[in-house]
Amino acid sequence: MADQNGVFMGMDLRCQVNSHAHRTEEMDVERLLVRRGQPFSLALQCFTTLPPKHKLAMILHLGKEGEVVVKVLDARAGSDKWWFRQQGAQSEVLLTIHSPADAPVGLYSVTVLLLSPDGHILEKTTPDTFYLLFNPWCKADSVYLPDEELLEEYILNENGLLYQGSWDQISSLPWNFGQFEQDVVDICFEILDNSPAALTNPEMDTANRADPVYVSRTITAMVNANDDRGVVSGRWDGKYDDGVPPTRWTGSVPILRRWSEAGAQRVRYGQCWVFSGVACTVLRCLGIPTRPVTNYSSAHDTDGNLNVDYLYDEQLESVSESRKDMIWNYHCWVESWMDREDLPKGYDGWQALDPTPQERSDGVYCCGPCPVKAVRDGDVGMKYDAAFVFSEVNADLVTWIVYPDGQRSQVSLNQNTVGQNISTKSVYGDYREDITKHYKYPEGSVKEREVYEKAGRRVTQPNGAPGQLELKIKHAQAILGTDFDVIVEVHNVGGEDTPAQLTVTSNAVTYNSLHRGECHRKTASLTVPAQKAHKEVLRLRYDHYGACVSEHNLIRVTALLQVSGQPEVVLQEVNIQLSMPQLHVKVVGDAVVSRKLIAHISFTNPLPITLRGGVFTVEGAGLTAAREIQAPDDIGPGQEVKVKLSFKPTRAGLRKLMVDFDADRIRDVKGIATLIVRNK
């Protein structure tokens, strides 16, 4: 309560005016959220005009315990200082506050003091709080991005696409970032407050939050739960009974809320696209322009030799299980836009940040920020983790046959496999933008190999001249639940008939190359006439692959050709992405804020078996919090199931309702409805 005998009545934070000017009105208009380097105003309400010769002073506290104290100067000051000016108007004083463009982001409390002519404190307001965020609209801020269309996407868009599939069959996953949903900003700062640095030295951590390099690196470490009180626990073995399967999530907000409500307890489970989606939400919310990125045929080179080595025995059984070198069908990370004042000139702009826990960096599972330009130019010594990101997009794939006596023979070298079709969502709509050229020079170009050598690696050479037998693997579009043919062609480009032994295997694998089981194997002895081709057909039945196929619906076909009586060995491999059905989502009603809408969702079982335990997950930023709907019954082959739910939109604008369906034998079936919501 204000003191009736005093001067101060209270403070109006002018939340609506400020949030509109600072582009935070989507977040909250009941609380004050402002961006650094841009003035904002408060209205000091008084019972009477200020006494003559009395002065106003302003104090800010920052940090979880208010451990950092900032005195706001009462006269114009340099751009590196907090200062305010006042303007009296009857029973109000308008206070315009100027923050430095390099002030630490965080939750501040503000108190206004009334000072006597000799400087004694006579009265002070009850402290009010506000959040200060990064400001990519401010030229002096190190996250400044001078393009309004890019900011609309990389800061303000709450919906996006995460790219999945394989390099030759790219698919997109709609994702609800939801960075402006209720309480998300509080959770973002809660994540920072739970970092090891914040818990051990809060004052230094608070000061370091002025730097987007520090903040973004902290977020990549905290999004995964490997070392700390991080958000998401990763799992890739298909055993998700004690949590949520990674494929079920349709957005970041339920994950962030679950983590916060459980008292900073890890959320089970995520995989790379989940980590990147959550990181993108947090970084956009804090005001750092961020976009999700997918790299196809992404290398995980554990020994740093810029080669990914695959080892097989003569029966095509993998003998490289003890090694962790592997190629992921795709891998997702994020890029954030910022200056790199900690590096030599020329490394500002997009920085790769990878929150998926793969390798330790400075003892912690995090990766980046790494300048994308350093990756392209082979500057692998640049902070942070440039060598690891370089290998993700540039490693050579070398395949070896290991013989019983331990000798091994290099059977293939592929310098073009890794780092293909690097993708992000376009700012101009829901379609893919290819950004491969930002990461690497054209495959096979002189410049690309120069960069490879600059990165400290001798260029690998193929073994000897090409042989006279060549292998190709072809397949029609494969649909989950159906039988399909894989055709292996053996071409004899030489002048003599050639006898050979052909082994073809098909294995169910995850998107990051973990084997889930062999589906089918075929061996054949054949003689290929000179200048002719032999075709071998492998019929893959659902009976073969249905029981072991992973939630990523991938079949890897490997063909090994051994020329009889000669050391010549040829190996080819393809990943076949099984096409998935889609959900049908239709929203009925007038899309107006707070008016009831009904979503009708239907799914037809494409498999020749009955599905059990079906569950639909629905969410949408500005539409509805995440909800689950159980399928009413088991779903027989070819049977359709329909469910509906009602919801009331909370915010106007272009909105997307995301739906996922999971059951015991099928996961990751997605659907989406787009609607334009109007204010009342």
Cite the active site residues: 272, 331, 354
**How far, in whole angstroms, is CA 305 from its chain's centroid?**
27
Distance CA 61, CA 336 (A): 29
448 annotated as ligand-binding: yes
Token pair 């970092």 is at which residue?
Answer: 195
Q: Does the annotation list 190 as a binding residue?
A: no
First to last CA, the chain: 36
What residue has token string 């009857």? 90
Question: Max Cα separation, the chain?
Answer: 109
Give one DSSP letter per residue of 350-363, joined into a string.
Answer: EEEE--S--SEETT
Quote the CA–CA distance of 378 and 452 in Å, as a whole number. Answer: 7
Pairing, β 326-338 against β 307-312: unpaired
CA distances from 602 to 218, 256, 399, 640, 661 (A): 41, 28, 45, 7, 10
3-state secondary structure of 280: helix
396 marked among binding-site residues: yes
Residue from 447, 577, 519 nearest 163 by CA? 577
Other Cβ atoms within 10 Å of 319 Cβ, number: 15
What does the alpha-carbon distance between residue 406 and residue 402 come to, in Å, rounded to a whole number? 6
Name the E strands within 256-392.
Answer: 267-270, 290-300, 307-312, 326-338, 349-353, 360-361, 364-365, 370-371
Amino acid at 639: Q
Decide if 222 contacts 230 (C-beta within 8 A).
Answer: yes
Q: 18 φ, ψ to 5°?
A: -70, -45
Nearest alpha carbon to residue 287 among 32, 35, 26, 18 = 35
Q: Phi/psi of residue 632, each to 5°?
A: -65, -30
∠ Cα 196 303 399 (to 5°): 140
Does a cis peptide bond (omega within 30 degrees of 0) precede residue 581? no
Rounded CA separation 24/155 (Å): 10
Query: DSSP readout, 52-102?
Result: TT-EEEEEEEESTT--EEEEEBSS---TTS-EEEEEEETTEEEEEEE--TT
**Residue type, position 441, single letter:** Y
At residue 676, the 3 state secondary structure works out as strand
Residue 590 CA to chain centroid, in angstroms? Answer: 33
- CA atoms of 369 and 12, how far apart (whole Å): 39
Token pair for residue 532? 């002719």
Q: How many CA atoms lie within 13 A of 667 on its CB side?
A: 16
- In sequence order, what are the residues at sequence separation of 6 or more whose Cβ sits closer than 8 angstroms to the Cβ of residue 154? 145, 284, 289, 290, 291, 337, 427
Only one residue has tokens 């997109």, namely 172
Q: Distance between CA 371 and CA 462 in Å, rounded?
A: 32
Q: How far apart are CA 329 and CA 552, in angstroms?
A: 10
- Annotated binding site: which residue ranges? 394, 396, 443, 448
Binding positions for Ca(2+): 394, 396, 443, 448
